[in-house]
Structures are given as structure tokens and as C-alpha cells.
Structure 1
Amino acid sequence: MKRLLNLRLRRPRTGRRAGAALALAALTVPLTVAFSSPAPAAAASPCTAYRGPYQKQAEKFLGLRADGRQTPSDCRAIRAFQTSHGITPNIGYAGPITWGVMRVVARQKAAGHQPNKARKCPRNKGRIACVDLTRQISWIQDGSKLVFGPVPIRTGRNGFETRTGAKRIYWRHLHHVSTLYDVPMPYSQFFDGGQAFHSISGSVWSAPGSHGCVNMRSKDAKKYWSLLRNGDDVHVFGRKPGT
């Protein structure tokens, strides 16, 4: 009898979890950028029963009932978002880091097919890579024509900010390894001192940020590598939240 009871208690609620995951995916995919990437299962961490200071805001962002109360289904949805965006610990607690990432994702989603609607990136330069620190997105344009993007990025953390202004790509190294931090920097395209576009293996949404480089998902960095050349313009503007 005791063994049977244990088996019943451990039975997963696969149907509910699958439904929550599908609903979450629909809510967090913007018009031109697919933000989610393969990540460990959310079940790797326990779900907390405690409400976070941004519980109501997180519920509203995820399309849940925004009553500010933590329920098991709320926790699973918040935890799934944390897992897919590289936020740790992924226990479903709606704290400041989770809410900060949600705000960035909302700005990225709102960029849609017109990331340069405010004309903050020059349109008289021909081929140019635009880096918007405020929304943490980047795109490539030719004049006023959008060539690629926008894509999510991770720029410099507080104290290591990605420098703003007009730049140019001056050196490219496909299999670069950082001499300062001894970490791989595939598809590196340097545009300002040691700052470069390059791919990372982790999440581009994870805090606190880079040491100044523009971190990208591998497929996006690879596309930038194919589209840009030495001498191409780069324009960095805005201010990353928290810096």
C-alpha cells in the first residue's frame, strides 16, 4: 500500500505542463525574433509557493490572471520563462531580475519589423549594423532597408558598458578566444577596442551582461559574419537598463 501511494504522488502532470509551455511560447515570441532556445527542463528546480515583488506584473506579461497571488500554475509558467531565458534560480519567483528580462523582451517584441522607426540609427551610411542598448537588440540595414533582424543581444554590464557612438569593423576572427578571460568568442567582429560582435553558448538574456562585447546567439552571430565586412559601419546608441 505504501509503495502504491508513493507511485501516485510522483505521477507528473504532463498535460497541464505541456499546455502551459505552449501558451508561454505563443506569448513570448515577437514578430521577427524567436526568443526561446533549447534549455534544461523547468522541473530541474522546485517551484516556490512564495509570491515575488513583481508577481502581478509577471502574471500580466504571461497572459495569466493578474491577481498578484502565486498559484501552482502561475509558478510553473514563470519558471518556464526563467528556464527558457537563462534566469537562475528558476523556481518561479517573480523577482527584479525576472521582471527586468520580461521588460526587455517586451521592448524587443514591440520592435517588430521596424526597429529603426525612431531613426536613431543612421540611414545614410549604406550597410550598417545598429546596436540599440536600451532595447537590447541589433539589426543590419542598407540605408532605410532592413536586411536582417532585429535579434536579441546582451551588451556590457554596469562598469563594462558597451561604448556608444559611430564605429567600424576593423578585425574579424572566426575562432577567436579571449586573451583576457580565456573563453571562446566565435564569429568575432571587432568594432571598438576589445569590443566585438560574437556568439555565446549561454543565454543572451542572462544577467548581468558582458564585459563590453555584443553577445549573440550562434545563428545570429553567424549571419552577421556572412553579411558584414571590415570597414562596415556600426552604430551603438541608447543605454542598457541597469547601467
Structure 2
Amino acid sequence: MKRTLPALLVCASLLVVAGPPAVAAAPSPVSRAVPEPVSYPDADLVPGLSRALRAAEQETPGRAPARGQQRHTEYVPRSEAVRHSPGPVACSRSTGPYQRQAERYLGREVDGRQSTGDCRAIRRFQQAHRIAPASGFAGPVTGAMVRLMRAKKDPNRAGHCPDRPERTVCADLNRQLLWVQQDGRVIFDPVVMRSGAPTMETRTGTYRIYLRHRHHISNLYHTSMPFAQFFDRGEALHAVYDDIYQGPGSHGCINLTWGDAQKLWELLKKQDVVYVWGRKPSV
């Protein structure tokens, strides 16, 4: 895949003695790129929390962010947001883009139409997975959570990730999921990831981890990249502080939640394989 000069410079500047000459140093943009729907977070979601956590990490790079279950903000149509705000969240009348996927997973009639029963079932699913607002609208975040839950049993059912005797990180850009397998056995269950944004796509192929830096700081953006594990000319697996479901994507790196990135850090070593395939969906 050809990359423009700015794209190649996104994650590069730290020289190493062996391996590729440059190291990724690009955090993920946090701007949101959904033109028509708007997010409708619950009142207890604090604006600016991501920035505050980043600042704290840069001041004390060994300190983990605040613990606790993070809520994931769903995108809902503007008409739904206006109808709900500022009162309690009501059941959505709209049919979301992932209605059929949600119906199939939840054992509902797969007709792609929102019914009262569908909305209640989707709301319960959203509440169980801390998706806000839990309005029953099957938007992108709900769709991504459905994909994750469906992949839990057998993430490599389609056989895209090769079976190897060594630890292999499987990064599925199509589903935006990541897991680790060895000898055909999953040793790290699938988790949600966030790959490169349009024009900054994560490169596909087979790589090996060549550098690990627990408290890496971006040389270009001066932003923390916790648990950074570099695998290709500066592209790395690393944690982010903002909601993993938000924003158009990274500058090419593979983003993970703090907890998932920490567990992956404890599991992987240098020279472990990273296999990336597919293409990030446009929606």
C-alpha cells in the first residue's frame, strides 16, 4: 500500500540499534467524524476527561488512568437526541444501521424494522454493555459490540489468521477486532481495536514486534502511548485514553483500551508475530 510522505512521518523519529529505523509516535485523533447523527451521552459523562487523563499520564507516566467501567457513547439521529433531551432516555422509534445484526444476535425476528420488542431487547443489551444512551437505537457502537460478542466463541472461524506454532496477534481490520492465537488455540480472547483513519490506514501483512516501550511518548505530538509495541515502520499496538469506539481512527497504529493493552503487554514479547488483514469499514 502506498503512503504519502506525511503518513510515513506520522509515527517516526526514535532511532533503534537493530530492526526498523524509526518508531511510531502518533496518538489517535479524537475528533468525531459522523456527519448526520449526534452523540447523546448520559449526564454523568464528563467532557474533557480524556484530556485530563492524558495530562496526568504525561506528568506521571507510570500511573494508570482511573479505574472503573467506561461508558461507550452511541451515535443516535439528531431527532432522537432532541426528543430525549433533557428528560429520561425513551425507547427509540428509529431503526439503526445495525438493526438486523442486533436482531439476529438477540434472537429477534430479522426484519430490519424497529418494534417495541426489538427496542426493549436492544436496550437491555446496551445497558449490559454500558452503551449510552440505552435507547434501543442500533448505531455503530452497538453494532461493534454485537460483532465482538459474536466473535467470542471462535474469532478465527473464517480462517483468515494463520495457525502458527508461535504467538500470533490477529488484527482483523474488517471487524476491528484483535486476538492472539498459538498452535490454532486462542490464548487472548478477541477485543475491540481501532485502526488507522481514512488515508492513514494500518498497513496489512505479516510483521514481528521489534520494539516495546512501556511509557512511550510521541516525538511528533508529545502525547502518551502506553504499552507501545511496535511492529512495522513505526506502527504500534498501544493504549488510548478516549473511548475506543469514538473518532475516525488512528494515524496507522492499532489502538486498544488501557486494560486490553496492558494484558497484551504482559503476554507478548519481542519477535512475536503480528498479522494484519482486511480493510476498515467506512461506517
Q: TM-score, normalised by structure 1?
A: 0.67
Distance, in Å, in 2 between the alignment partners of 1:84 and 1:91 is 8
Alpha-carbon distance, 1:51 to partner: 4.4
Q: Please show how residues 127-138 of structure 1 align to structure 2 within 5 Å.
A: 127-138=167-178
Taking the aligned partners of 2:187 and 2:278, their CA distance within structure 1 comes to 21
| Structure 2 residue matching 1:141: 3-state secondary structure | strand
Over 3 Å counting, the alpha-carbon distance change for 1:236 and 1:203 in structure 2 is: same
**Distance in structure 2 (CA, Å) of the matches to 1:56 and 1:234:** 30
* Residue type of the alignment partner of 1:37: Q
Q: Give the equivalent residue in structure 2 for 1:39.
A: 71
Q: Percent identity?
A: 35
| Structure 2 alignment gaps of length 5 or more | 1-67, 75-83
- Quick one: distance in 1 between partners of 2:207 and 2:98? 41
Please report how far the alpha carbon of residue 205 of structure 1 lies from its aligned counterpart in structure 2 after TM superposition: 1.3
Question: Which residue is 1:181 aligned to?
Answer: 221
Q: Residue 77 and residue 160 in structure 1: after superposition, are their counterparts in 2 closer, same or farther (change >3 A)?
A: same
Q: Which residue of 2 aligns with 1:239?
A: 279
Partner Cα distance (2:73, 2:172) in 1 = 31
SS in 1 for 2:156: coil
Closer, same or farther: CA 57–217 of 1 in aligned 2, 3 Å:
same
State the Cα deviation string for residues 95-140 of structure 1 (Å, max 9, x = none): xxx6222222222111123211222111125111110111111111
The 1:154/1:37 distance shift into structure 2, 3 A limit, reads farther
2:247 alignment partner in structure 1: 207
Which residue among 192, 207, 210 is the counterpart of 1:167?
207
- What is the one-letter code of the residue matched to 1:68? Q
Aligned ranges 1:53-202 → 2 under 5 Å: 54=96, 57=99, 60=103, 68=114, 77=123, 84-85=130-131, 92=135, 94=137, 99-202=139-242
* Local SS of the residue matching 2:139: helix
Indicate conservation of the 8 Å contact 1:167/1:235, yes or no: yes
Distance 1:144 1:93 in 2: 37
SS at match of 2:264: helix
Q: Which amino acid letter does the alignment assign opposite residue 151 of structure 1? A: V
Aligned length: 201
Report the aligned-residue RMSD. Answer: 3.8
